[in-house]
Structure 1
Amino acid sequence: MTITTETPIEAPRTASPADVTPDSPAAALVGMFQEVTGELEPLFEAMEWAEEEIEAARQRHQETARGPIWHSFSLMTPTLDRLKNERLYRIHVRELLERVDTGRDTRPATDAEMMIGLLESSLQAPLTSAATCLYLRIFARALPAEFHKTAGTALELASYESVHGPQADEHEGWLRRQLTQAWRAPEV
């Protein structure tokens, strides 16, 4: 017994790149996917950098079990847009991890956050001499090799500190408090 049909059965047709025209629904979906991917990519990069820094800190501090450093991932959320820069973000994360390891408060601003705050301020108006001293101090503390390679040969930070240090200390305390992240407390 043979069964015949008059119309052949065709496999479902899938969309090809030629079907995606600028005004097609497929183009809208592709655009939305690209937009979401573009938004999420920096977050995934930051997550990867944070995981690398957490692992390095665990090794540095010989944390073998799931201790405070291992549990600190939620503290590593970038707080400022410029923390998408890998170098600044890693400085930020390392400082937070050192605070976690030593039991210090993780809520006050990190050196990276303060550098960004001073940079943003300098784009609005020139920094005062004391604020410049603070910026140089933080730069030297956060990136010592780069500081000495660039600014360190042209100026003596100790001279700047002798004149503007006390006022820079006040600025540093104020800036740390202003940029404090109340949510950034380790899980207990």
Structure 2
Amino acid sequence: MIDSAPGGVLVDPPITLTTILDETLADQAGPMNAMAWTDAEIDTAAAAAPSHADIFFHSFGLLRPGPQLAAVMTSELVIRSHARELLARLSTGADTRPATAVELFVALHHTGRRVPLHGAAAGLYFRLLLSAFPGQSATAGLADRQGHYESLYRDRIDDLEEDLRRRFTDAHRTLAATITCTGRHHGDLVACRYAASTRPLPERPQTAGPPRM
């Protein structure tokens, strides 16, 4: 439940990530852009962890934003943050089902437009902001404000975050139980743990790379 304990520090309505979230909503990018941003994050993750490149390649469907992000599908910052966190979980074998930081941030963002956030809820809002958009939001003023909330409400913020991540869990957000692969990714020969055999099937003429699964 959102914390509204008396004495909490009020998050004023204008504090709603105007320059990061609201302005990006004006950019009505199509689904192809969201796919391209996700692909770019997959490529970045694969370059950083080559041993997991095949897992990342076949995780495209898992990275698809869920209903929590439906209203902000056109935001590059949101789509990239969501994909980046899930790819990081895949690289360590962590559970991909709990909500990502950006999913929770967007939920609190919309809540904060209807009712003021106090105490632990306000602290979680800023914690998620810094986690989801580190390169965009890490200012000295924001860090100081977050430090204030953490010093007062850290345990309650932790509990609220755990509760919300569990509440917004997507039970179906896992790698497919069965993944088929011909041994080629986008037409290129690769060593993929999901290939039917170590010897890939003959290449077939195609206009685009095989779909990720």
* TM-score computed with the length of structure 1 as normaliser: 0.71
Q: Which letter does structure 2 place at the counterpart of 1:96?
A: L
Greater fraction of residues in helix: 1
Q: Which letter does structure 1 place at the counterpart of 2:43?
A: E
Q: Which letter does structure 2 place at the counterpart of 1:73?
A: F
Distance between the aligned counterparts of 1:167 and 1:132, measured in 2?
Answer: 11
Task: Check whether the contact 1:42–1:84 (CA below 8 A) recurs between aligned residues.
Answer: yes
Q: Secondary structure at the match of 2:163?
A: helix
Q: Once the two structures are aligned, what percentage of the paired residues are identical?
A: 35
Distance between the aligned counterparts of 1:187 and 1:161, measured in 2?
Answer: 38
Shift of 1:151: 3.7
Show structure 1 runs of 4+ deviating over 4 A: none
Q: Secondary structure at the match of 1:75?
A: coil
Name the counterpart of 2:80. 90
Task: Check whether the contact 2:77–2:133 (CA below 8 A) recurs between aligned residues.
Answer: no
Q: Secondary structure at the match of 2:51?
A: coil
Shift of 1:150: 6.3
Count, aligned residues? 147
Superposition map of 1:85-164 within 5 A:
85-149=75-139, 151-152=141-142, 155-164=144-153
Q: Indicate the structure whose relative CO is greater, using CA pairs within 8 Å and at least 6 residues apart.
A: 2
Shift of 1:64: 7.3
Q: Which letter does structure 2 place at the counterpart of 1:176?
A: R
Distance between the aligned counterparts of 1:122 and 1:170, measured in 2?
Answer: 19
Backbone CA RMSD of aligned residues = 2.1
Name the counterpart of 1:182. 171
- Which runs of 5 or more structure 1 residues have no equivalent in the other structure? 1-40
Distance between the aligned counterparts of 2:93 and 2:86, measured in 1?
Answer: 10
Task: Check whether the contact 1:78–1:84 (CA below 8 A) recurs between aligned residues.
Answer: no
Shift of 1:156: 4.2
Bigger Rg, which one: 1
* TM-score computed with the length of structure 2 as normaliser: 0.63
- Which runs of 5 or more structure 2 residues have no equivalent in the other structure? 1-28, 178-213
